[in-house]
Structure 1
Amino acid sequence: MVVSTAEFRASLSGAAPAPMLTPPLAALWWAAKGNWDKAHKIVQDEATREAALVHAYLHRVEGDLGNAGYWYRQAGQPVATDNLESEWERIASALLEGGKK
């Protein structure tokens, strides 16, 4: 089981995400692998705040800041202003921490 951000990042050397990952974490995994389309397909129909946050991140990666803003609002989060790598780390950490509770 993935328990830390470091282990999650290390899993990126694999061909697919671990099957027990939540959809938002699986989408982040695919985003880190450069597969935006696959990541987007995973979260676009998920109705959770966590999925909305990953969805916002993906649209920020895409450069569609208007759409990203909508998804940040759906997630109940402020629009991110840090670099994309820092945001990815922050989201991954939050999602992994949330899974431990």
Structure 2
Amino acid sequence: MHPAVETFLAKPASDAAAGPLRALWHAAHGDWTAAHEIAQASEDRDSAWVHAYLHREEGDQWNAEYWYRRAGKPVFKGSLEDEREAMIATLLR
């Protein structure tokens, strides 16, 4: 795991960044509902990207593909864990 991602995920929820990163923090810690509520609350592309990931995690591929299009991102073909780590690393930059 990328060191910056590991450091981010080790923080308590109260120290997690806002928006899409906070949603990914919740997703990584098993709280899909909180992650989805955060991703759904914003209209920006990064939130749409996280929203896509969450629907892929849920197994709702059609809905995930819709959100990937809204985010302007290709549908990720690897594991959920690999995608989440790549997303966090990208959003931390």
TM-score by length of 1: 0.84
The answer for unaligned runs of 5 or more in structure 2 is none
Q: How far apart, in 2, do the equivalents of 1:76 and 1:45 lie?
A: 18
State the partner residue of 1:52: 48
Structure with greater helix share of residues: 2
Q: How far apart, in 2, do the equivalents of 1:4 and 1:49 lie?
A: 22
Deviation at 1:68, TM superposition (A): 0.2
Instruction: Answer yes or no: is 1:96 the counterpart of 2:92.
Output: yes
The answer for unaligned runs of 5 or more in structure 1 is none
Instruction: Answer yes or no: is 1:23 the counterpart of 2:28.
Output: no
Q: After TM superposition, where is structure 1 displaced by more than 4 Å over at least 4 residues in a row?
A: none
CA contact (8 A) 1:17 1:26 kept: no
Which amino acid letter does the alignment assign opposite residue 18 of structure 1?
A: D
For the aligned residue pairs, the C-alpha RMSD in angstroms reads: 1.4
Q: How far apart, in 2, do the equivalents of 1:80 and 1:7 lie?
A: 24
TM-score by length of 2: 0.91
CA contact (8 A) 1:25 1:92 kept: yes
